[in-house]
């Protein structure tokens, strides 16, 4: 029997929250075990509940999604958090990525994609709504904070760019190794170099950086 994926929802819009809960609970594989309307309430829930995954809004009163995500990950490093976002919130994506979010889904997401996104992030991979990747690619880097390739002394190698393309597609280190006929350890070395050279914090932050700097094709 497949284990139930326990989910906490965090959003300050009650109508959206209710709809999201209904969609998630329609899938027998998932169960919403808690809800909060701001980051502070969410952190209080974590003292009593043990979710597998959290879906959290970015902009909320009292404590926003980025601050709440950072504090939650510091206390519970294995907690998987996915951000709920709208196109107008693109400038906050790196803040959420740096805080430790493992994926981003649009609030307009359909049921099938929602189920796929939850399963993907719960399995340890990253996930971005496809429409969101397109918007990130068109987003003006000048509108957000971050260090860009032209400011760096080091440049990426051809093999690092190959690895980066597969990272953006959400492949694991082993899957990338199989694609490129190299070892998993070599892939992880390239991954570490990519994060170091781009001055990013983690894989999700690296994906956003790569797309915004047009290092990969999405």
Using the predicted structure, report yes or no on whether residue 1 has a pLDDT greater than 50: no
Residues 6+ apart with CB under 8 A from 97: 200, 201, 202, 204, 205, 207, 208
The per-residue pLDDT for range 79-98, each reduced to its tens digit, is 999 999 887 677 788 889 98
Query: Which residues are CB-contacts of 76 (< 8 A; sequence separation ≥ 6)?
Result: 46
Provide φ and ψ at 81, rounded to 5°: -125, 130
Mean pLDDT of all residues belonging to the chain:
88
Q: Higher confidence at residue 138 or residue 177?
A: 177
Q: What's residue 88's pLDDT?
A: 66
Tell me if 84 sits within 8 A of 39, measured CB to CB.
no
Q: Are 172 and 163 in contact (CB under 8 A)?
A: no
> CA angle 7-38-170, nearest 5°?
45
**pLDDT at residue 217 greater than cutoff 70:** yes
Alpha carbon distance 59, 80 (integer Å): 19
Q: Mean pLDDT lowest for which of 30-34, 96-100, 212-216?
A: 212-216
Of 165, 205, 163, 211, nearest to 188 by C-alpha is 163
Whether 150 shows a pLDDT value over 80: the answer reads no
Kind and range of the H or E run holding 11: none
- pLDDT value, residue 54: 98
152 pLDDT band, cuts 50/70/90, is: low
CB 45 within 8 A of CB 156: no
Q: Which domains does the chain have, with CATH numbers?
A: 5-138 (3.40.50.2300), 142-212 (1.10.10.10)
pLDDT at 66 over 90: yes
Report strand pairing: 103-106 vs 127-128: parallel
Q: Does residue 147 have a pLDDT over 70? A: no
Q: Which helix (H) or strand (E) holds 213?
A: none
């Amino acid at each position: 029997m497949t284990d139930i994926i326990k989910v906490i929802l965090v959003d300050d819009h009650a109508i959206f929250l209710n709809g999201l809960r209904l969609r998630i609970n329609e899938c027998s594989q998932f169960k919403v075990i808690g809800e909060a309307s701001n980051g502070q309430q969410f952190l209080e829930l974590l003292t009593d509940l043990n979710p597998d995954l959290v879906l959290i809004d970015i902009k909320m009163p009292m404590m926003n999604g980025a601050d709440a995500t950072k504090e939650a990950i510091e206390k519970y490093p294995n907690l998987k958090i996915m951000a709920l976002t709208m196109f107008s919130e693109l400038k906050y994506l790196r803040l959420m990525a740096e805080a430790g979010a493992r994926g981003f889904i649009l609030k307009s997401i359909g049921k099938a994609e929602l189920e796929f996104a939850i399963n993907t992030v719960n399995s340890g991979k990253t996930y971005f709504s496809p429409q969101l990747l397109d918007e990130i690619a068109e987003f003006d880097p000048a509108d957000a904070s971050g260090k860009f390739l032209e400011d760096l002394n080091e440049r990426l190698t051809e093999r690092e760019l190959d690895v980066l393309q597969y990272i953006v597609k959400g492949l694991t280190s082993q899957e990338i190794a199989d694609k490129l006929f190299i070892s998993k350890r070599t892939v992880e070395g390239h991954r570490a170099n990519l994060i170091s050279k781009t001055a990013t914090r983690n894989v999700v932050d690296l994906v956003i950086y790569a797309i915004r700097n047009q290092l990969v094709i999405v």
